[in-house]
Amino acid sequence: MVKALLFDVDDTLIPTTDFIEGVLYQAVIAIINAGLPEENPARAVQKLHELRRNNREHGNNFDLLCHVYGIDNKTIVQAAVKKYEDMKHASLQPNIHAVSVLEHALSNSYKLGVVTTGEPDKQIDKLKVSGLFDYFKGHIYASVDPKEAKPKPNLFQTALKALDAKAEESFYVGNRLDVDVAGAHNANIQAILLYCGKYAGQTPQSVLLQRGVKANAILEGAFKQEIRKMTPEHTITNLRQLLEIL
């Protein structure tokens, strides 16, 4: 019997990619209406995405966007922040079947935990706003530190120790081969890939090609270990299918 079920947050428990796209667009419209000198919201959203990719402290991205446009106006920034917060609390929902699966797991004495990449306070906030926080009883492990974040085994091992669970009796559910599946395997945990979101087309081979590995080297079998590490024990297309595995 599986002793622990560990989950990723973004695009696993919560469909954050779709949510973020809509919220950022509305926030940009609000900041333009407040005085940002830009007539094309899509262009400002693109710049905001670039800032988010290079800035770990997401809380000041709207300030940085204003700086890009040569603006230093807290009122304009607050317009975007208010719209973002309003939409977050109104729109951030758990993934389909997430609640029923977590309820089922708890009713069958499974131990639940979260292992996720991101600033801890941001990830916890997402879980609280979406109504999922209480299911995990504080067992939420998040980091952006490359020394311990996925695919390193550190956070997985911390979670298992806290849950008093064995790796070989546990599952991890995530949506990325290179981070989630590989990370679970690095900690000797069985991996379940949720095939959804922006990484749905990912394969072990495509990950290696993106890293600069030559196709011939892959075909010749030089990266069998890496491919095996990114190959999940199970693949599902919705969380409800977890019940068939467990």
> What pLDDT digit, counting tens, does each position of 168-206 carry?
999 999 999 999 999 999 999 999 999 988 899 899 999
Sheet architecture: strand order including 234-236: 140-143, 111-117, 4-7, 170-174, 190-194, 234-236
Where residue 37 falls among pLDDT bands split at 50, 70, 90?
Answer: very high
Q: What is the pLDDT of residues 64-114, one digit of tens each?
A: 888 889 888 888 888 888 888 888 777 789 999 999 999 999 999 899 999
Q: Rounded CA gap, 50 and 67, in Å?
A: 14
Architecture of domain 17-91 in this structure: Orthogonal Bundle (1.10)
pTM: 0.83
pLDDT, one tens digit per residue, over 218-235 is 887 878 999 999 999 999
The answer to whether domain 4-15+94-245 has CATH 3.40.50.1000 is: yes
Task: Give the domain ranges of the chain.
Answer: 4-15+94-245, 17-91
pLDDT(1) > 60: no
* Secondary structure (3-state) at 96: coil
CA distances from 51 to 4, 181, 207 (A): 37, 28, 24
The pLDDT tens digits for 126-163 are 999 999 999 999 999 999 899 999 999 999 999 999 99
Pair type for strands 111-117 and 234-236: unpaired
Tokens of 64: 């940085």
pLDDT in tens, 50-65: 888 877 665 688 888 8
Can you tell me the distance from the alpha carbon of 159 to that of 41, in angstroms, rounded to the nearest whole number?
41
